Amino acid sequence: MTESLSPVVAHPGNQRYAIGIEYDGRAFRGWQTQQAGVPSVQETLERAIARVANHPVHVHAAGRTDAGVHGSGMIAHFDSPSPRSERSWLMGVNTALPEGVSLRWIQPVASDFHARFKAVARRYHYVIYNHPRRSSLLAGRATWHYHPLQLAPMQEAAQALVGRHDFSAFRAVACQSNRPVRDVHFLQLDQEGPLFRLDIQADGFLHHMVRNIAGVLMAIGQGRMPVSWAAEVLASRDRTLGGVTAPPDGLYFVDALYPSGFDLPREPLGPLWMAGWPVR
């Protein structure tokens, strides 16, 4: 589903605010507002902000996550003429939000800022718990893969996906984008004990693109497919050759990048429970 290309500039009298959002995707059917009765992060956030603003608001996000996908560094914006301090916005909105969603920061920005259209890159982490037995504490927060994985072949295979390519083989069948070409800036994998982390940044992503990449790399790490398979799938441009789509549990939207003039706050990347891991 595509967002209408409404003017970027805020209406006169409004102040535009950029916000950093953290959310647990398990309670929602994705970011985007859907039909009545279907919980979404966007609708939940808009309702909480409206209580503090005393008027309806519309929140525009840097990206849209699917059901079960988390956000540790989602960036969005909204407009309001209501005079509130940053502390009042933060405390008021967080009080009105359920425990699965929180504002990390809020900052007034210029009227030409737009969380979606001004973003020059997006970044995701995909976290895998690789152990013979499932973890109750990581359930829903990391993808459980019980077959042993080898990091080195996954790292080698990932490099074939870096750069500007047609990612048709890694997009969902229902993907509505009319442009399958994306520029992957980097794709790195690292390991800390039983936890594997895939760290990927690109100018944009297709529907299920990261989860399909994770599925291919896990098959290679398990030894079911050779290292060359990632490049072969990419070259085929055929989704049916790309294997299983990995679960949403381990996927986190961790950052969106903007031109330096907007000077947005920077926080540690990734879920806070992984704080301390080295990040490029």
Kindly tell me if the per-residue pLDDT of 3 is higher than 50: no
* Topology given in CATH for the domain delimited by 121-252: Alpha-Beta Plaits (3.30.70)
What's the start-to-end Cα distance of the chain, in Å? Answer: 32
pLDDT band at 2 (very low <50, low <70, confident <90, very high): very low
What number is the average pLDDT over the span 113-142? 95
Which ranges in the chain are annotated with CATH 3.30.70.660? Answer: 121-252
Q: Which of 24, 66, 112, 249 is catalytic?
A: 66
Number of other residues whose CB lies within 10 A of the CB of residue 140:
18
pLDDT of residue 11: 63
- What is the spatial distance between Cα 124 and Cα 180, in angstroms, rounded to a whole number? 18
- What is the spatial distance between Cα 134 and Cα 30, in angstroms, rounded to a whole number? 25
Which ranges in the chain are annotated with CATH 3.30.70.580? Answer: 15-118
Known catalytic membership, residue 66: yes
What number is the average pLDDT over the span 242-267? 92
Query: Chain-centre distance of CA 50, in angstroms?
Result: 24
Q: Which percentage of the chain shows pLDDT scores above 70? A: 93
Q: Which CATH number fits domain 15-118: 3.80.10.10, 3.40.50.300, 3.30.70.580, 3.40.140.10?
A: 3.30.70.580
What is the tens place of the pLDDT at every residue in 204-231?
999 999 999 999 999 999 999 999 999 9
Kindly tell me if the per-residue pLDDT of 5 is higher than 70: no
Strands 251-257 vs 70-80: parallel, antiparallel or unpaired? parallel
